[in-house]
Copies of this chain bind each other. A is one copy, B any other.
Amino acid sequence: MSEPSSRLLSALTAESQAEWRGYTCHSFVAQLGGGTLPKAAFLHYLRQDYVFLVHFARAWALAVVKSDRIDEMRIAAGTVHALIDEEMKLHIATCAEEGIGEEDLAATTESPANLAYTRFVMDAGLKGDLLDLLVALAPCVFGYGEIGRRLAEETDGPPPDHPYRDWISTYAGDDYQGVCDTVGTLIDNVAARTIGDAYAASPRWPALTETFATACRLEADFWQMGLEGT
């Protein structure tokens, strides 16, 4: 399993190492990988994440609105489809096993951490251009990909009896890793035709890294909300 090769992601994580690690190595993640995460915390997270995915799909639809190249619109629209029709299945299936139905899921009251992150992303898109929006979306897309890969390696699989096997397998799997590759190419192309190749030389670089760092902090808050939901 190789890392997605997005130049822009590498540059952004290099600028915001503390925020990136605070998010991708959060205690929730460590406990999830170690299998010690309380089931109640996981279910609380999963219910919020279902609502999150609704707004995340809206944000990817906003990327279609903000695009004008058919190939890019196709990738963004494909991501909307993957979120609504694929990624949510994990949530619905896992919650169903625990006796939580889909209507119940959809009626979940959004936590403030959920509101903060999703609406920050939407507003980044309303305020800025396609690049601003994609940078705000990046921590979620690529962070879950990195966490999935790492936890799959650390757990050697994960093994069939791992309590969070489905979650890890979903994000470590070829489908999701393929989404990361496609989005990596998209975001690099959009960056190239917006700020050129010398990212740090662009006058927009400080604001872009600030957007990325804020999104990482809000992702960490989301894990924390999961932990505190027990």
Contact = CB atoms under 8 A, between A and B. Distances in A.
A67 B60 CA distance: 13
A54 B80 contact: no
Interface string A199-210: 000111000000
A99 interface: no
Interface residues on A, range: 35 or more
Interface in A124-165: 126-130, 132
Contacts of A112: 112-113, 116, 217-218, 221
B122 A126 contact: yes
Nearest to A121: B119
A7 to B, nearest CB: 15
B62 A65 contact: yes
A21 interface: no
Interface stretch (A27-35, A38-46, A169-177, A187-195): A187-195
A61 interface: yes
A123 interface: yes
Interface in A58-101: 58, 61-62, 64-68, 70, 73-74, 76-77, 80-81, 84-85, 88
Contacts of A68: 54, 58, 127
Contact of A194 (B64, B192, B203): B203
A178 interface: no
A77 B70 contact: no
Nearest to A131: B129
A167 interface: no
